[in-house]
Amino acid sequence: IKARAVSLLCDDMPVIADDSGLCIDALDGAPGLYSARFAGEEATDEDRNKKILKLMENEENRHAYYIASVAFIFPDGREITAEGKVEGEIMTKEEGTGGFGYDPLFYCTEIGKSFGVATPEEKNAVSHRGRALKNLCEILKKEMEE
């Protein structure tokens, strides 16, 4: 939706846009696309994290993942999309103060720690946005070869 809206303003220019969110199995994929607004329009990161902890209090299935979707629109209107994902679990309490948003609640199984204590380099190595962009690049390479 974002990419299409911008493409209307950018004649003869390619457009790229992304969106991402945290998906929690026990919450049927919520907060998902509504991650930023999950606890209300004026909510802080602290408010959102408290809401997640409250909703997850008695949940055994703590599996979660960050997902990013990237859209690329060519000047001729053709569209390409790609996704990237990083798997993990929702912890029972916040750990660390680094990152942003839900990072202190998200334990990344690939790096073995919460995103709240992970270094920027560690997070970048498993980034859902980075993976989405890498996947997009692969699709664009194939597109250009054809």
User: Which positions are catalytic?
Assistant: 19
Using only C-alpha atoms, the chain has a radius of gyration, in whole angstroms, of 17
Lateral strand order in the sheet of 106-108:
31-32, 15-24, 63-73, 79-90, 106-108, 113-114
Q: Return the residue matching tokens 């996704």.
A: 83
Q: What's the number of CA atoms in the CB half-sphere (13 Å) around residue 120? A: 0
Query: CA 142, CA 146: separation in Å to the nearest integer?
Result: 6
- Enter the tokens of residue 62: 């703590």
Three-class DSSP category at 104:
helix
Amino acid at 15: V
